[in-house]
């Protein structure tokens, strides 16, 4: 166990690692002889293999990485600085080096550190700048010319920051602090049985998996042809973490709730692979109805498509598995058998997942999707045990307002809370501390609450509570009196 | 019940949360033969609580009802007896994620205070992790110990009664993360560094004042921490309300359909067809910010202990 942990500290071939330069992250697979482009620089990761995660590397001119020890601070000899900028004129001629000079320096393969030094020496105004301005100048130039890259181990912190900065659209603008709230409000921890419905490329799923550490089970509800787990795979979870990860198609939720879910209809698990692509492009409006609706259109055409893709998959796998098997006919037979086996396995897994859901004893529900939250909540909450938390994320406030109202009408929930977090970063430097110039405008909204036993047919009491909420406080006392 | 595991039914010795209504709740120690007074009347533990399902509606003696909820660190945070200022779930969430805590993590914390953050940390690192928490106030340290025992998490936490600035955390080269919520965190940065594993780890310091942050950042830099980052997180809560706004009477226009035009074209105007010409109103749902909100709890400064 300990040895394994020590081993996992090192960068290994096939790992998923995260490159970091300044505040910029990029997740990459560690492969030999594969060129990586990061922050306008191309390099190979070969040399990084075997080093410990957290190592900082310098990119050499031939595109290799060289580990860099602690940055020896070039403490500039007895600093000379001005006190203010009254005599600094922007004539555009303060830098004596031309673009071509700088390019020549770079082409010669001179270290970034030296280029920065040259820039400083050739700046006529540098010495007149205030100490603070000098600092700022150096920092800016270092950022541009000193190519140091740190390779770090992926985590929710890193991946959620990375996704929010690089591809916010793919995670429906779920800011990392909002994701942090979800995990806490949802009481996500080892041993839980969680239901997760997300269209955040698998980032929320990964965050939940990290917090559960392989203990307990997760049921991922997915729209379309299958769950998207691009971000999940960036976490590099050990295999056992996937043993208790289940998935269930959203389109079967209603039939499961009505008790009409039959194993026969299961093989066509994914009724609309075609649709997923559309969904990717955000054409989801009509899909909302299908969440509520009861239509069971496992059409033949789409089933065909699935078979095709399935075949593709099996071929790929076999090609890897059994390269040496020259006999094509045999391979074909194997393919058919493989396909049947896969289908059978899929069916079995779905039956298992359906059984897990039917127990209706999940320990929590997390929703972060591009769909309207109301129908999702009204259905998926059925699977959650009483006295368990649920959290819904939405990029917009309005759908959550409706969801709030509908949940009140339904009853079976308490402590409903609609919230949003603001995140502010600070620059902290001696005598120069202040909030950063820009902050994120929005990281989405959360609706959270706790389930309670739903007593059917007596919804008036929950209406009463709803009333309580909406009345001004002066009236609230009266309503409370009523319920005593 | 335990704070690290869900149970279905209420048992003798459990800590349960009595939920009275919007935002109004309190914790109760369930005891055979015990009674609890609420504004809706008495709850008798033996008959009303023990053996019932968590999440049940319990009818009190005066006919009013309450819900009994399973304890969670978040519910505990808003219900615990304060011995100090506490951290709330909004900050706790960010701390947990930014310290990269998960099952198996070893965490050092100081001070323990009222144990609000401690419960959340224990929840996250269970079942294989551990929390080493240091509190220099003897009575608070003992009270925290007692609570951890009552909450069934004592095996996951070690409470030490000493001054972290002088004596450190009592462990070295063991922690994945360190959290500081003390008046002079800069004096504990060195101890924090030695508590962290040789291969590195994360640190967070919580301070209400920017001057404290300033000194902490300097100390962190001095001890070779990298990725030093200060942030602040604010929670905005919204009340969901149905608002009606009256439509102003601008007098009768020459063509009298001009004033109705607005009413009928407004799509959010459902449910109130009775908007008449004289006194029309438009209804809509809104999330109204609370009249007052928490404007500042503290600055969170994070950093990484790197390899070298």
Instruction: For residues A74 and A233, give the distance between their C-alpha atoms in angstroms, rounded to a whole number.
Output: 40
What is the phi/psi pair of residue A152, to 5°? -120, 160
- 3 state SS of B233: strand
Query: Is A268 within 8 Å of A306 (Cβ atoms)?
Result: yes
pLDDT for position B277: 47
**A430·B93 Cβ contact <8 A:** no
A296: which 2 tokens? 């069971």
Mean pLDDT of B3-15: 94
Partner-chain residue, chosen from A189, A402, A483, that has the shortest CB–CB distance to B126: A189
The model's pLDDT over A73-109, given as tens digits with 9 standing for 90+, comes to 544 445 677 787 777 788 888 887 788 887 787 777 7
pLDDT for position B237: 95
pLDDT band (50, 70, 90) for residue B215: very high
Among the listed residues A221, A220, A192, the one whose alpha carbon sits nearest the alpha carbon of residue A364 = A192
Partner-chain residue, chosen from B23, B96, B287, that has the shortest CB–CB distance to A418: B287
Q: Which residue of A has its CA nearest to B224?
A: A70
Cα-trace Rg, chain B: 26
Mean pLDDT rounded to a whole number for chain A: 80
Question: CB pairs below 8 Å between A and B: how many?
Answer: 201
The model's pLDDT over A189-206, given as tens digits with 9 standing for 90+, comes to 999 999 999 999 999 999
Which residues of chain B make contact with A455, given a CB cutoff of 8 A? 57
Q: Which of residues 113-152 of A touch B (CB under 8 A)?
A: none
**A70·B97 Cβ contact <8 A:** no
Instruction: For residues A252 and A90, give the distance between their C-alpha atoms in angstroms, rounded to a whole number.
Output: 67
Packed helices A203-212 and A176-185: angle between N→C axes, nearest 10 degrees = 50
Cis before residue B111, ω within 30 degrees of 0?
yes
> CB of A89 within 8 Å of any CB in chain B?
no
> CB of A404 within 8 Å of any CB in chain B?
yes
Mean pLDDT rounded to a whole number for chain B: 91
A336-345, A464-473, B43-52: least confidently modelled range = A464-473
B241 burial (CB, 10 Å; 0-12 / 13-18 / 19+) is middle
Query: Is B62 within 8 Å of B38 (Cβ atoms)?
Result: no
pLDDT for position B308: 58
- 3 state SS of B299: strand
**Quick check: B260 pLDDT over 80?**
no
Q: DSSP letter at B160?
A: E
Which residues of chain B make contact with A215, given a CB cutoff of 8 A? 103, 127
pLDDT for position A324: 52
**Quick check: A465 pLDDT over 80?**
no
**A157·B214 Cβ contact <8 A:** no
Strand order in the sheet with A148-152: A24-29, A16-21, A148-152, A56-59, A65-68
Query: Is A40 within 8 Å of A124 (Cβ atoms)?
Result: no
**A191·B299 Cβ contact <8 A:** no
Interface test mutation site (partner A, options B55, B122, B173, max chain A beta carbons within 10 A) = B55
pLDDT for position A218: 98
B225 burial (CB, 10 Å; 0-12 / 13-18 / 19+) is buried
Instruction: For residues A407 and B37, give the distance between their C-alpha atoms in angstroms, rounded to a whole number.
Output: 30
Q: A42 or B115: whose pLDDT is higher? A: B115
B94 burial (CB, 10 Å; 0-12 / 13-18 / 19+) is buried
**Quick check: B197 pLDDT over 80?**
yes
Which residues of chain B make contact with A388, given a CB cutoff of 8 A? 6, 55, 70
Q: Following DSSP, what letter does each residue of B183-199 receive, concatenated?
A: S-GGGTHHHHHHHB-TT
Which residues of chain A make contact with B72, given a CB cutoff of 8 A? 187, 389
- Alpha-carbon dihedral angle through residues A31, A110, A112, A40, given to the nearest 10 degrees: -50
A154 burial (CB, 10 Å; 0-12 / 13-18 / 19+) is buried
Query: Is B159 within 8 Å of B131 (Cβ atoms)?
Result: no
The angle at the Cα of A178, spanning B7 to A252, to the nearest 5 degrees, equals 60
**A465·B22 Cβ contact <8 A:** yes
Query: Is A22 within 8 Å of A143 (Cβ atoms)?
Result: yes
Helix (H) or strand (E) holding A117: helix A112-121
A152-166, A336-350, A361-375, B195-209: least confidently modelled range = A336-350
Instruction: For residues B230 and B36, give the distance between their C-alpha atoms in angstroms, rounded to a whole number.
Output: 44
**A177·B96 Cβ contact <8 A:** no
A253-257, A325-329, A358-362, B294-298: least confidently modelled range = A325-329
pLDDT for position A130: 82
Q: A195 or A465: whose pLDDT is higher? A: A195
Residue with tokens 């953050």: B117
Residue with tokens 């929703």: A367
pLDDT for position B185: 97
Query: Is B34 within 8 Å of B16 (Cβ atoms)?
Result: no
Which residues of chain B make contact with A402, given a CB cutoff of 8 A? 285
The model's pLDDT over A376-419, given as tens digits with 9 standing for 90+, comes to 999 999 999 999 999 999 999 999 999 999 999 999 999 999 99
**A415·B23 Cβ contact <8 A:** yes
pLDDT for position A461: 46
The model's pLDDT over A10-41, given as tens digits with 9 standing for 90+, comes to 999 999 999 999 889 999 999 999 999 998 88
Mean pLDDT of A429-434: 92
> CB of A302 within 8 Å of any CB in chain B?
no
**A424·B100 Cβ contact <8 A:** no
- When mean pLDDT is compared over A9-13, A369-373, A451-455, A461-465, the highest value belongs to A369-373
The model's pLDDT over A167-195, given as tens digits with 9 standing for 90+, comes to 999 999 999 999 999 999 999 999 999 99
Annotated binding site of B for S-adenosyl-L-methionine: 114-117, 135, 181
**A426·B231 Cβ contact <8 A:** yes
> CB of A469 within 8 Å of any CB in chain B?
yes
pLDDT for position A222: 97
Which residues of chain B make contact with A425, given a CB cutoff of 8 A? 229-232
Instruction: For residues B120 and B179, give the distance between their C-alpha atoms in angstroms, rounded to a whole number.
Output: 13
- Domains of chain B, with CATH numbers? 9-71 (3.10.330.20), 77-234+294-305 (3.40.50.150)
Q: A439 or A74: whose pLDDT is higher? A: A439
The angle at the Cα of B76, spanning B73 to B80, to the nearest 5 degrees, equals 140
Instruction: For residues A48 and A66, give the distance between their C-alpha atoms in angstroms, rounded to a whole number.
Output: 8
Q: Please report, rounded to a whole number, the percentage of residues in chain B having pLDDT higher than 90.
A: 83
**Quick check: A284 pLDDT over 50?**
no
Q: How many CA atoms lie within 13 A of A11 on its CB side?
A: 28
Q: Please report, rounded to a whole number, the percentage of residues in chain A having pLDDT higher than 70.
A: 76
> CB of A185 within 8 Å of any CB in chain B?
yes
Cβ neighbours, 10 Å, residue A483: 15
Annotated binding site of B: 114-117, 135, 181
Pairing of strands A245-249, A217-222: parallel
Instruction: For residues A452 and A462, give the distance between their C-alpha atoms in angstroms, rounded to a whole number.
Output: 11
Instruction: For residues B259 and B238, give the distance between their C-alpha atoms in angstroms, rounded to a whole number.
Output: 33
Cβ neighbours, 10 Å, residue A314: 20
Instruction: For residues B224 and B217, give the distance between their C-alpha atoms in angstroms, rounded to a whole number.
Output: 11
**Quick check: A483 pLDDT over 90?**
no
pLDDT for position A61: 76
Among the listed residues B107, B108, B115, the one whose alpha carbon sits nearest the alpha carbon of residue B85 = B115
- 3 state SS of B280: coil
A430: which 2 tokens? 């001696």
Partner-chain residue, chosen from A156, A211, A483, that has the shortest CB–CB distance to B64: A483
Q: A87 or B296: whose pLDDT is higher? A: B296
Number of H helices, E strands in chain B: 8, 14
Q: B54 or A107: whose pLDDT is higher? A: B54
**Sign of the CA dihedral with A469 first, then A473, A475, and A477 last:** positive
Which residues of chain A make contact with B88, given a CB cutoff of 8 A? none
B152: which 2 tokens? 């069934």
pLDDT for position A223: 96
B261: which 2 tokens? 């035009």
Instruction: For residues A41 and A147, give the distance between their C-alpha atoms in angstroms, rounded to a whole number.
Output: 8
Question: Distance of CA A67 to CAs A52, A129, A206, B117, B126, Å?
Answer: 10, 34, 30, 38, 36
**Quick check: B2 pLDDT over 90?**
no
Query: Is A291 within 8 Å of A379 (Cβ atoms)?
Result: yes
pLDDT for position A39: 85
**Quick check: B156 pLDDT over 80?**
yes
B24: which 2 tokens? 């109004």
pLDDT band (50, 70, 90) for residue A1: low
**Quick check: A289 pLDDT over 50?**
no
Query: Looking at this predicted complex, what is its ipTM?
Result: 0.93
Q: Please report, rounded to a whole number, the percentage of residues in chain B having pLDDT higher than 70.
A: 91
> CB of A365 within 8 Å of any CB in chain B?
no
> CB of A9 within 8 Å of any CB in chain B?
yes
Mean pLDDT of B47-62: 94
How close is the nearest chain A Cα to the Cα of B103, in Å? 5
- Domains of chain A, with CATH numbers? 1-70 (3.10.330.20), 101-142 (no CATH), 156-261+342-427 (3.40.50.150)
Residue with tokens 């909204």: A445
- Alpha-carbon dihedral angle through residues A278, A280, A286, A292, given to the nearest 10 degrees: 130
> CB of A462 within 8 Å of any CB in chain B?
no
Query: Is B262 within 8 Å of B247 (Cβ atoms)?
Result: yes
Instruction: For residues A407 and A375, give the distance between their C-alpha atoms in angstroms, rounded to a whole number.
Output: 10
Pairing of strands B177-180, B201-207: parallel
Question: Distance of CA A90 to CAs A93, A94, A125, B218, Å?
Answer: 8, 8, 9, 34
Residue with tokens 């390019």: A103
Mean pLDDT of A284-312: 36
**Quick check: B43 pLDDT over 50?**
yes
């Amino acid at each position: 166990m300990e040895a394994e942990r020590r081993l996992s500290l090192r960068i290994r071939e096939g790992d998923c690692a995260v490159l970091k330069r300044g505040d910029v992250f990029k997740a990459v697979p560690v492969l030999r002889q594969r060129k990586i482009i990061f922050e306008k620089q191309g390099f190979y990761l070969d040399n990084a293999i075997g080093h410990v995660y957290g190592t900082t590397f310098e990119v050499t001119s031939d595109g290799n990485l060289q580990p860099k020890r602690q940055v020896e601070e070039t403490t500039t000899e007895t600093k000379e600085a001005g006190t203010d900028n009254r005599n600094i004129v922007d004539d555009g001629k303060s830098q004596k080096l031309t673009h071509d000079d700088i390019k020549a320096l770079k082409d010669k393969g001179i270290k970034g550190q030296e280029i920065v030094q040259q820039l400083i020496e050739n700046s006529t105004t540098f010495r007149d700048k205030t100490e603070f301005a000098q600092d700022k100048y150096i920092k800016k130039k270092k950022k541009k010319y000193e190519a140091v890259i740190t390779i770090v181990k992926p985590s929710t912190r890193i991946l959620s920051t990375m996704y929010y900065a690089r591809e916010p659209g793919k995670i429906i603008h779920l800011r990392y602090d909002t994701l942090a709230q979800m995990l806490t409000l949802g009481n996500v921890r080892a041993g839980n049985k969680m239901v997760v419905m997300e269209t955040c490329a698998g980032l929320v799923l990964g965050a939940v998996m990290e917090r559960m550490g392989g203990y307990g089970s997760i049921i991922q509800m997915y729209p379309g042809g299958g769950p998207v787990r691009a971000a999940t795979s960036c976490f590099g979870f050990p295999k056992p973490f996937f043993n208790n990860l289940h998935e269930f198609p959203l389109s079967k939720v209603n039939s499961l709730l009505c008790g009409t879910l039959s194993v026969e209809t299961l093989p066509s698990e994914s009724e609309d692979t075609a649709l997923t692509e559309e969904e990717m492009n955000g054409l989801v409006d009509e899909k909302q109805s299908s969440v509520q609706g009861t239509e069971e259109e496992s059409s033949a055409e789409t089933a065909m498509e699935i078979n095709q893709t399935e075949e593709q998959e099996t071929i790929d796998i076999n090609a890897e598995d059994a390269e040496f098997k020259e006999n094509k006919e045999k391979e074909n037979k194997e393919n058919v058998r493989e396909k049947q086996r896969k289908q059978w396995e899929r069916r079995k897994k779905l039956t298992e997942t359906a059984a897990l859901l039917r127990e209706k004893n999940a320990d929590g529900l997390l929703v972060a999707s591009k769909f309207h939250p109301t129908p999702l909540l009204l259905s998926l909450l059925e699977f959650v045990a009483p006295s368990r938390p649920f959290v819904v994320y939405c990029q917009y406030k309005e759908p959550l307002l409706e969801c709030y109202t509908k949940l009140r009408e339904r009853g079976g929930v308490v402590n409903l809370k609609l919230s949003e977090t603001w995140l502010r970063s600070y620059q902290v430097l001696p005598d120069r501390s202040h909030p950063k110039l820009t902050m994120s405008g929005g990281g989405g909204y959360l609706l959270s609450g706790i389930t309670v036993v739903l007593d059917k047919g007596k919804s008036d009491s929950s209406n009463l509570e709803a009333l309580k909420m909406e009345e001004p406080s002066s009236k609230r006392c009266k309503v409370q009196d009523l319920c005593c | 019940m335990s704070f690290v595991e869900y149970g279905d039914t209420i048992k003798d010795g459990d800590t349960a949360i009595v939920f009275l209504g919007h935002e109004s709740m309190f914790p109760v120690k369930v005891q055979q033969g015990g009674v609890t007074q609420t504004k809706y009347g008495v709850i008798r533990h033996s008959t009303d609580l023990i053996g019932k399902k968590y999440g049940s509606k319990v009818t009190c003696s005066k006919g009013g009802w309450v819900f009994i909820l399973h304890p969670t660190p978040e519910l505990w945070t808003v219900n615990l007896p304060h011995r100090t200022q506490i951290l709330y779930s909004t900050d706790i969430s960010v701390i947990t994620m930014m310290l990269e805590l998960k099952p198996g993590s070893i965490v050092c914390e100081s001070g323990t205070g009222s144990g609000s953050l401690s419960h959340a940390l224990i929840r996250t690192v269970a079942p294989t992790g551990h929390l080493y928490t240091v509190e220099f106030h003897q009575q608070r340290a003992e009270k925290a110990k007692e609570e951890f025992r009552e909450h069934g998490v004592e095996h996951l936490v070690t409470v030490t009664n000493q001054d972290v600035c002088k004596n450190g955390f009592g462990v070295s080269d063991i922690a994945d993360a360190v959290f500081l919520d003390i008046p002079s965190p800069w004096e504990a940065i060195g101890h924090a560094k030695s508590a962290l594993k040789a291969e590195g780890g994360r640190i967070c310091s919580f301070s209400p004042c920017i001057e404290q942050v300033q000194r902490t950042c300097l100390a962190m830099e001095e001890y070779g921490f990298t990725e030093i980052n200060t942030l602040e997180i604010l929670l905005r809560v919204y009340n969901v309300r149905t608002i009606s706004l009256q439509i102003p009477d601008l007098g009768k226009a020459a063509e009298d359909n001009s004033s109705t035009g607005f009413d009928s074209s407004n799509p959010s105007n459902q449910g109130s067809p009775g908007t008449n010409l004289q006194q029309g109103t438009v209804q809509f749902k809104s999330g109204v910010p609370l009249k007052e909100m928490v404007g500042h709890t503290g600055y969170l400064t994070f950093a990484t202990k790197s390899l070298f």
